[in-house]
């Protein structure tokens, strides 16, 4: 933790990123947000995120993490001399219940040429984390699970789910919605023939399953795998894209999750 302190003090880049983080969290969350600390205190819910590509900045790493929920504290550890990322970070979520979802969804994810290692930072919680990882993804069934990157459980299908690309409020306007659909179709068509696209839209007073996610059906599993490799970790409207495969039967039943 000394390194966290060392890397955060007097680092203009980090403070600028933090200001943006506080502003974004204030505007996007209904929870009362205080000051988001650069130092994540040791607790059972403190997460370690390793294997981050060095070119990802504070906002990009934070985008990846906030796809599971708002952050209480966040620190991308940087070299105090150069200000460059050291490739690992610490965070804690406002809602401690999403901690396990974030571990399941992000641990093992391929970002560029690196694989993320996401686990509880506290000693003593490691065994619990490892036992969770060692289960097969079939028994886990955790929403947001990056199953393609988890050992023994690739299960690629022809349906790809893209997360952290759109916000529900961006889907309200018909014209904006059609533009997003076309953008997604154009981008995904680079990897193969797109059969269909579903982007669930918000409905007043109703919790719409899959709202905020994008589902793309390809004509072949191979094309879908290419799309996952090409799109995971990419930026779309300044957000880092998170992906997973979806069950085609569920997709055709419009059972989005």
What pTM value is reported for the model?
Answer: 0.47
20 within a domain of the structure (yes/no): no
The tally of domains found in the chain comes to 2
152 within a domain of the structure (yes/no): no
112 within a domain of the structure (yes/no): yes
Residuewise pLDDT in 10s, the chain (257 residues): 444 444 444 445 555 555 555 444 444 444 344 455 667 878 888 999 998 888 888 888 888 898 888 889 999 988 888 888 888 999 999 888 889 888 888 888 877 667 888 988 874 344 444 433 433 333 333 344 343 333 222 478 999 998 888 888 889 999 999 999 999 999 999 999 999 999 999 888 888 888 889 999 999 999 998 998 888 878 777 777 888 888 898 898 888 76
Cβ atoms within 10 A of the Cβ of 247, count?
13
Going by C-alpha positions, the residue among 32, 93, 100 that lies closest to residue 62 is: 93
143 within a domain of the structure (yes/no): no
pLDDT digits (tens, 9 = 90+) for 24-55: 444 444 434 445 566 787 888 899 999 888 88
How far apart, in Å, do the first and last CA atoms of the chain sit? 37
pLDDT of 244 reads: 82
Choose one of 120, 136, 171: the last residue of a domain: 120
Q: Are residues 172 and 236 both part of a single domain?
A: yes
pLDDT of 12 reads: 52
133 within a domain of the structure (yes/no): no
26 within a domain of the structure (yes/no): no
Q: Are residues 171 and 94 both part of a single domain?
A: no
Between vectors from CA 181 to CA 70 and to CA 210, what angle results, nearest 5°? 40
Distance of CA 38 to the CA centre of its chain: 20
pLDDT digits (tens, 9 = 90+) for 105-132: 888 887 766 788 898 887 434 444 443 3
Going by C-alpha positions, the residue among 251, 170, 189 that lies closest to residue 215 is: 251
Cβ atoms within 10 A of the Cβ of 183, count?
14
The token pair at 76 is 């991308």
pLDDT of 195 reads: 95
146 within a domain of the structure (yes/no): no
Q: Are residues 164 and 246 both part of a single domain?
A: yes
pLDDT of 37 reads: 63
CATH number of the domain to which 202 belongs: 3.30.70.330
Q: Are residues 248 and 166 both part of a single domain?
A: yes
Domain range for 62 is 46-120
233 within a domain of the structure (yes/no): yes
pLDDT of 180 reads: 92
């Amino acid at each position: 933790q000394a390194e966290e302190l060392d890397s955060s003090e007097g680092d203009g880049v980090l403070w600028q990123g933090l200001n943006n983080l506080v502003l974004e969290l204030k505007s996007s969350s209904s929870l009362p947000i205080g000051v988001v600390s650069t130092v994540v205190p040791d607790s059972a819910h403190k997460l370690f995120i390793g294997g981050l590509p060095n070119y990802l900045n504070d906002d990009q790493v934070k985008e990846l993490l906030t796809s599971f929920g708002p952050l209480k504290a966040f620190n991308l550890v940087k070299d105090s001399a150069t200000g460059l990322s050291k490739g690992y970070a610490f965070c804690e979520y406002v809602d401690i219940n999403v901690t396990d979802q974030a571990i399941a969804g992000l641990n093992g994810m391929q970002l560029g040429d690196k694989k993320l290692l996401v686990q509880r930072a506290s000693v003593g919680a490691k065994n619990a984390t490892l036992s969770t990882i060692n289960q097969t993804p079939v028994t886990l069934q955790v929403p947001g699970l990056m199953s393609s990157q988890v050992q023994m459980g690739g299960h690629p299908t022809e349906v790809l789910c893209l997360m952290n690309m759109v916000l529900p409020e961006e889907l309200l306007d018909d014209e904006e919605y059609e533009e997003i659909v076309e953008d997604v179709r154009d981008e995904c068509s680079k990897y193969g023939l797109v059969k269909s696209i579903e982007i669930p839209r918000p409905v007043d007073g109703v919790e719409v399953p899959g709202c905020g996610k994008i589902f793309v059906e390809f004509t072949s599993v191979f094309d879908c795998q290419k799309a996952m490799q090409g799109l995971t970790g990419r930026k779309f409207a300044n957000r880092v894209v998170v992906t997973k495969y979806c069950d085609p039967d569920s997709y055709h039943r419009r059972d989005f999750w």
